[in-house]
Structures are given as structure tokens and as C-alpha cells.
Amino acid sequence: MNATKAFAAQSSTSPLAPHDIPRREPQANDVQIDIMYCGVCHSDIHTARNEWGGTKYPCVPGHEIVGRVSAIGSNVTRFKVGDLAGIGCLVDSCRECDNCKQGLQQYCDNGIVGTYNGKTSDGTPHTFGGYSKQIVADESFVLHISDRLPLAGVAPLLCAGITTYSPLRHWKVGVGHKIGVLGLGGLGHMAVKLASSFGAEVTMISHSAHKEADAKRLGATHFLLSSDKGQMNKALKTFDFILNTVSAPHDYNTYLQLLKTNGTMICVGAPIEPAKIPSFSLIGQRRSLVGSLIGGIPETQEMLDYCAEKGITSDVEIIPIQQINEAYERMLKGDVKYRFVIDMQSL
């Protein structure tokens, strides 16, 4: 085992602080990556603070990882030392179930191995994420990163990007569709960029009027102020899709009414509290309420290649790791445009 510098939470109430973690020596199929940038996802906060339950401590979050390959195992064929590479939300799965065989590893019937807080069989207590100097993973779960885009802006694509890309592709959102994106944050700003690039007519739905200019800069054609009852009434039954990115408790029914007959709300945000949804919000217009996770490895690579071709990255604020606790508090207040990314050279 190698001792690797990292930042970790020791309990649900402790701030993240320096902590050495064990990393295995690269095995035959492994790729070792020296981490350059790691995005900060809302899931990092949920896990570090045990808001979803089951967090293993010490907890090293981070699953939006880009860096450079520094070592490879003897069987590795897809990477060489010096290549740019990335790791997203998972580092393994059973590889044998129907979903895994279809490249849908995110829905592995036997459970994925998360990039952090996951089970291991390599002698480490659990998986440790990207708030660290280095990471080792099987090459089957490592992604190729283009050198055509700023790497700090690419890092959040490994979660925020694929979390919005996957449902947009699955439901074939594109030309001729009207889609509302609910919430302009880390996920929402990527949803606007991607949906508009696919040719859909995008409306940003937000309770903050000051976000209109930014929403249109990102690619939205329209802006709907959800706190304005007049605007909301005019928008009833106008959308084919709503991509709901909100992770705070909110009233789903308010937004379901904005869907046309046969319209679909896709949930990618993950509020802690369960939602209350009267059946008539759905059956009255044959609406659908669906969910989507991240993408599998093939689709994530597809998304990275697409973004490299189209010049799409996340809007980021780069911070040193020493500011991570402050960044968490700012995220909870919505005080970031639109994703914090840690420059891991500061560790």
C-alpha cells in the first residue's frame, strides 16, 4: 500500500482536514492517475455529513476526477503513462448482470462500487475519492480525456455532465421538443448547455429573477420565474419535458402541471425528504414522473467525446483544497457559478 495525501471527514459533524489514506499498488489491470482537478458535487456533502446514511469514515469524497496517468499494470492496453484520464462516480461493478453487459454499469443488479464510500477487496477499508493526490482503478472504469478543453472545466462532466446527458439522450430530447430545466446550479447549467446543443427549445425555470441573464447566456431561449404566479399560469401544459435538478425539498406538483399531455418530468436531483405526489397530478394528463442516475462507462465516454467536439465544459470556480469547507457552505447557499473544482496541486 502507498500512503497518499488527502482531505477527509472523520465524522458527520467534523470539517474536512488533511489525512493520509492507503492506495494499492497498481495491479495487472490497473491505471494509476495523479489527480490534477476534482469537481465538488452536492453528493459529496450528503455523504461527508451522512445525510443519506451509511457513510464510512474517514470519508474522502470526490468523483469528478481528471488527471494524468502515472503508472499502468501489465495487462493495460487502453492507456499509457502520460495520458490524460478521468474517473467518475463508479470504479467497479459486478460486470456479469444484464445491465453491466449492456454498458449500464450504473444500474448494476449486484451494486456498483462507488468511487468513494464503496466496498473494496484490495485491503483498503473502503474506496476513497478524488480529494486526494492519486487514485488507482481498473482500466475498464477509467475514461479518456481530450486535451482540447480546459481540464478544470472538464472535471464536473464526470458527474454533472453525465447526470444530465444520460436522461436527455435516453428520452431522445432534441429538435421539436420544449424542455424546462428546473434549477440553475451545477446540474441545471449543464442541462441547459446540453439540451440546447441537441436542438431543443430550452426554458430555465427558477425562483430567482437575477438568474435570467445567465440562463440565456448558457443557451436557454426562455426564462420562467417560478415565484411569479402569472408566468406560471401561462406556462401550464406547455412542456414536453422538465428536467428537475433540484436537490432541496420542493413541491413537485407545481411543476408537473406545466407538462403537456404525455409530458415527462425527469428527476436527477435527490432531495433528502420524500415527495408527496397526488395521483391526479399524473393520471389527469397521462404524465410521467421518472428518474435517472448517471451513465454507464460507454455513455460517459460518449458524453466526454461529444463535449470535446462541441466545446462544452462546466462553468467553474477553481479553489485550493484548503477552502473545501467554505466551499461546502457556499454551495448550500447557492453561492457558486456553477461548480467548484479543486486544484489538487494545492494539496
Structural domains of the chain, with CATH: 2-159+295-346 (3.90.180.10), 161-291 (3.40.50.720)
The pLDDT value recorded for residue 1 is 87
Specify the DSSP class assigned to residue 137.
Answer: E
Q: Is the pTM of this model over 0.85?
A: yes
Q: Is 8 helix (H, G, I), strand (E, B) or coil?
A: strand
The pLDDT value recorded for residue 196 is 98
27-55 pLDDT, tens digit each: 999 999 999 999 999 999 999 999 989 99
192 with 220: CB under 8 angstroms? yes
**Nearest-angstrom CA–CA distance, 86 and 67:** 6
**pLDDT exceeding 70 applies to what percent of the chain?**
100
**Nearest-angstrom CA–CA distance, 43 and 61:** 9
Burial code of 109-141, b = ≥16 C-beta within 10 A, e = fewer? eeebbbbbbbeeeeeeebbbbbbbbbbbbbbeb
The pLDDT value recorded for residue 248 is 87
Find residue 239's DSSP bridge partners.
Answer: 259
Residues of the chain with pLDDT under 70: none
Closest by CA position to 9, among listed 195, 180, 17: 17
The pLDDT value recorded for residue 204 is 98
The pLDDT value recorded for residue 5 is 98
3-31 pLDDT, tens digit each: 999 999 999 999 999 999 999 999 999 99
Q: Which residue has the cell 466526454?
A: 304
